[in-house]
Structure 1
Amino acid sequence: MKKNLKTWASKLNALKVKFIAIFLLISLVPMLVLTFILTSQSTSALKKKTAEEQALSAKIGADFVNSWLSEKIKSAEEIMKKNPAFQTGQAANILSILKVMEQSDPDVSVITFVDKAGMLSDTEGNVHDGSKFDNIKQVMTSKKLYISNITLNTFTQKYSIFLDIPILNEQGEFVGAIQPEVDASELLQLIENIKIGESGYAYLLSADGFYIAHPDDKKVGRNYKEFALPGKIEAFQNTVFTKDQGTVSYSEQSESKSASFTKVESSNWKLIVTAPANEVFKTVQQIQNKAVILMIASLILISVIAIYVASFMTRSILDISRMMTLVSQGDLTGRLKVKGKDELERVKESINSMLDSFTDIIRKITQSTEHVAASSEELTAIANDSTQASEHIVKSVDVVVRGSEVQVQGSEETTVAMEEMATGVQTIAISASTVADTALNVVQEVSAGSQDIQHAISQMIKMSQSVEDTAAIVRSLETKSHAIQQTVQLISEIAGQTNLLALNASIEAARAGEHGRGFSVVAAEVRKLAEQTTTATNHISSHIQDTLQAITEAAASMNNGLSEVSLSVTQVEKTGVTFGVIQKSVQHVNDQIQEVSAVTEQISAGTQEVSASMAEMAVIMKNSSNKLNEVSRAAGDQHHSMKEILSASESLSTMSNDLQEMVSRFKI
């Protein structure tokens, strides 16, 4: 499926197809636009003319109906004007005239007189009460002509129209009316003769939407809404019942219809001429169909011409395309036939010349590639041998370099070790001398320390005696503080008793009334003094308690200090004995250090000489190693260059082979 789509896509991209498309576009678009414009204008004009003819049919029919009704009404009104008996409203005087009117007009079957009370009297002497009829009521109240709808007379089996013509006196008062029953057969025949198209017809609608006349007798006297779709009802409500004349389109029984309507001036009737839209605009549709057929025929003719012209124009281009396809496949043997002097023929000549040039170039390239291929093979063999030799040299030099580097590293490590040994020996010598001096100082310091320790022992003994004396004083102070606390407690109790006595005195003074007022003041002052005394004793008791606590802690601390002083005296005495032992040991060490210092000075001199010799040897070995590294790098560079030469020669050989293969594809 995809392959077929690609094939069709390639065909659509062909130059021939593009030429055809351009030719059709240039030819058809203007023609189609012009045809569309002319067809639209002609069909629009024809539609307008057809609609006008349909409207004219409706107007002519309405005018005839109006003329027929007006003639009947005018005839009756003229007789009424010529006979003053009508203004009297007397039935006896009017019925004789009405009988003459019946005989003079064959379309009038009977004329009835209506008096002002609504009583109906005909020429045959029949009397009926018509005051309950709507048409009689309307004439009596409006004093205007009333035309009834067409109805079927059950006695005569004919369709009739009742004309209610009012009779007014000179004061304009209603005195009666005449009601001619007019045969509507002529009117119905007229409406039936109105045709449009093959199945178009005319019918009458009353102002309230009832069929007055219609080809289908079943609809006469019934409301049109009973047979109409909602779309037709809406269309009629917006046009037929709101305008005096016009056109309307609607759907009826799955068929689109076009109708024209006109109001009958003498009544509120509407004459409607309707027909299927396809019949009304049949001519328009025929013109449109012919236009489509003409456009299709033109399209076919122009397409044939476009295909022929495109084939003629692309013939030379297709020859060139086929030749270029062979050239792309490597066939340079073919040549184009030149038959003229136009631009495409000159292109063919140029292509032939180009192919000749290509053929010569391919021959020369073939010869050159053969020579290059042979030379590249020789160069590859030489480069391969040189690469192997240089690789052997590089490996040998690498072995020597690694050996020299090991020797240099060993000599450097030996030199560093000798230098470190010399430095260490020299440091030992210096340290030994320093230690000797330090040991001598230590002996002196130990002697002085022993003397200081003896002095400290005597001071510690004195301090122990002082601490014991202080502890005795603190214990005495603690005893006296307890006595003071007891005294303060007694004072506090006395102050409390005094406060109670002062309170009792105040109570007794209050009982004594005016006589005890002075004693009450004294009791209040005593109570205040007792309260102040209680407060002061509380403060003193608190301070004494803090002092007792501090004295107790000081006594405990003195006892602890006394124990520590005793321990310190014992420890210092032991330290004095230890210092004596240390003094003897330090003296012995000092003697040994003096001997070590002399030996280390001799060793230091020997190691410095060996270190100098190893340093010179390391410099020589390092220079040799650097030279060998330079030789190794040079050998590596040479080996790398030989590899590049070998790679280039191999690439050249490959390219020459590829070039030979490419050139061999061409046929010359």
Structure 2
Amino acid sequence: MKNSLKNKLIIILCLLLVISLGTVCGASYWSASNLLANSLDKEAELSASNLSIRIDGFFQEKIEIVRAIGGLMSADQNVEHDLKIIQEAQKKNPEFETFFFSHDLSGKKVINFKGEVTDISDRPHIKEASKGEGKVVVSEPVISKRTGNNIVTLVVPLMKDNRQYGYIGSTIPINEIQKKVSEEKFGELGYAFLVSKTGTFIYHPNSEFILKESILDMGILELQTAFEDIKQGNHGIAQYKYENTERFASYAPTNLNWGIYITAPVAELHAPVDQLLVRLTVISLIVLALGVVLIYFLAVRMVKPIERLNHAVNVVAKGNLKETVTVDGKDEIAVLSRDFNQTVSHLKNLIEDVSLSSDQVQRFSQEVSEGIKQATENINQIGLSIAQISEGAEAQAASSQEVALSMTDMAAGIVKIAETSAHVSEAAQIATEQAEQGTAVVEQAVLQMGSIGEGTSKATVAIEQLNNRSKEIEGILDTISQLTSQINLLALNASIEAARAGEHGRGFAVVAGEVKKLANQSEESASKIAMLIGEIQQDTHHAVEVMTEGNQNAQQGIQLVEEVREIFGNILESSRNVAAHILEVSAASEQMSAGSQQVSASVDEMHTIAKHASLDAQTVAKATEEQLQAIQEIGQSVEHLNTVAEELQQGIRRFTV
């Protein structure tokens, strides 16, 4: 049966198991994904920041060396002295490719370590250094015409009286920087690349990109956005698609506004989470299979007693009182089964008692019929005697003796009829009492079935209370959402105040940012809990529907017991009819007794007054007619009693005991 309680129970429990497993797996996968994402973000940002620090340290070291060399130059701008200084520096610092200096800011009299004077005023880094702002200038990477190396030019100001009067410069190969970047790995397939402040690739695993291609020309919007963020001095995370592969990237700026990118395929980084998802799926399927088997056997075990009880109720409703229910356990169903067996047992005993009483009524009615036949024969004999009395006084005297004998027999028959009527009346009274007891037992069964319906209603109320608690939890979640919104606002205000505080508020800004992230995570968790609460409310509504259906089944059981009570009502009514007719038989017996007394008086009068024999014969004839009428009434009552007893037997035959 598709709508059976067992199938519904299995479906509901399986759905709850699937939802539970799906929720656990989803929460585990979501939690692991978030943990991995946070870990990857922090690890990648840390790697990019460390690489940026190493690059900045490299340049800072070189700048300090050049600044120290500039500090050795003469204050009176002696060209020969300063030339010897840079020539000596050239020998002692082989990591530098060349040194040069200028005692003015025009850029047209730049002297290299060979003493050659050149005009390089058109170069962007010389133009920047010639502004006289007293700052260090680093050029864009270029390919050295002399050595073919990738180099940058450092230009350090020469100061006198806090004024810049010239500069000292040096070209540095960036092979070491490119090596540092190439050695940076992230995962198995991850790598790092470096771009200049104009977007030109300083290093990339694809050598064809180096100093030839720009990140702005790749057509990848996410990388372009990250580059603009780097120019603002920010670091962050980006995800983009390159060569049909989704990639993850962390970026960070250097002090030169160069951009460090560390990238790796998303599939590789998420491989542990994907493996976890596979494991969770396999484990969930195994648990689901075991759970379905366990739920099936549990449902069969729970529903089987109900099916047995339902079958027994249907069998008893059809009249078979031999059916019993096997009782296992001590739960409510076991108690109901035990009460059902007891009810059927009482009903069976009652039917047996009523059947026995009905048999006695039939037997007593047969005895009464035989007495009536005998009385009829006696009356016929009296009629013959009266005819003989009419012929003569002598014949009357002779016949009076026979009449006396006949009256004796008739009196004995009347006494027998009275005794039989008393027995029949007593049996009918017993049958009535037994029928009343059966009705009381059925009433008790109706009350018990009603208790079952009340229990089901209480369970429905309990589930509704659970639904109300879920709504209270929703209210609490709304409060949490409001609190997280307030925390976000406070974190934003804290970030603004930290920005106003400048360098001293930087640490506080980081804390405010973390608080904002935690608030966002709390808000997302509250939203997901709200979704779960909604699903639980749907499940509780479904459970209420199932409990309602169970209550309807209990009502059907009450209707079946009501049918049994109606049958007993018919039996009780039939028993009362039998008792009423027995009273009629008793009344007829009294009339027969009165008639026999009249006949006896007539016989005595016949013996004492022979003269009035004719008159006495007429009196006896009338009395005989009255007796005949009384006997006919008794016969009719006995026939009616037989009919009632037969109807009672037909009602009892509906039951098999």
Q: Tell me the TM-score normalized by structure 2.
A: 0.48
Bigger-Rg structure (1/2):
1
Q: Tell me the TM-score normalized by structure 1.
A: 0.47
Greater RCO, 1 or 2 (C-alpha within 8 Å, sep 6+):
1
